[in-house]
Amino acid sequence: MDAHQHDTLVQGLYRQLHDVFENSDQAIYLYLDDVHKICNKRFADLLGYGSPQEWAAVDEPFPMVFVASASRRPLVTAYRNAIERFVGATLEVTWQKKTGRTVDTKVILVPVTYEGDVFALHYISPK
């Protein structure tokens, strides 16, 4: 599948979940891969980005940029379990902010499917 198709999928699922993204009291992001992801304003703000678009434009390896080193393995493991085995998870994650500072959170990660592709939907609450 090419990048345009992935963009179309991410945007389509976002449109389907628009009310959740825009009205939840929690920070939320939807992840397909390092390039194809989308978040709400609360998550962008949590990590110090000016907008969801600025956050989504970062196309470097997700865990290396956004996740503090001690939280990388648990988050990647939860993601793989969601994508490969359709298993949801709750875990504590320390995020790396744009400024280099960190923020501790609780994350609920759930698998969702859209048009045959599996995504991980993350709900984040500051600790």
- pLDDT tens digits, one per residue of 21-50: 999 999 999 998 888 899 999 999 999 999
**Mean of pLDDT over the chain:** 94
Number of domains in the chain: 1
Q: What local confidence, expressed as pLDDT, does residue 59 receive?
A: 87
pLDDT score recorded for residue 6: 75
Cβ-count burial 24-40 (b if 16+ within 10 Å, e if not): eebbbbbbbeeebbbbb
pTM strictly above 0.75: yes
Q: What is the pLDDT of residues 63-94, one digit of tens each?
A: 999 999 999 999 999 999 999 999 999 999 99
The CATH number that applies at residue 43 is 3.30.450.20
Q: Rounded to the nearest 10 degrees, how much is the dihedral formed by the CA atoms of 10, 16, 22, 27?
A: -50
The answer on pLDDT for 2 being more than 70 is: no
Rounded CA-CA distance 114/109 in Å is 16
Domain ranges, residue 107: 3-126
Separation of alpha carbons 48 and 111, rounded Å = 26
pLDDT tens readout for residues 99-109: 999 999 999 99
The predicted model gives 57-64 an average pLDDT of: 93
> Looking at beta carbons, which pairs linking 80-88 to residues 24 or more positions away fall under 8 Å?
82/109, 82/110, 82/111, 82/118, 82/120, 83/111, 83/118, 83/120, 86/111, 86/118, 87/111
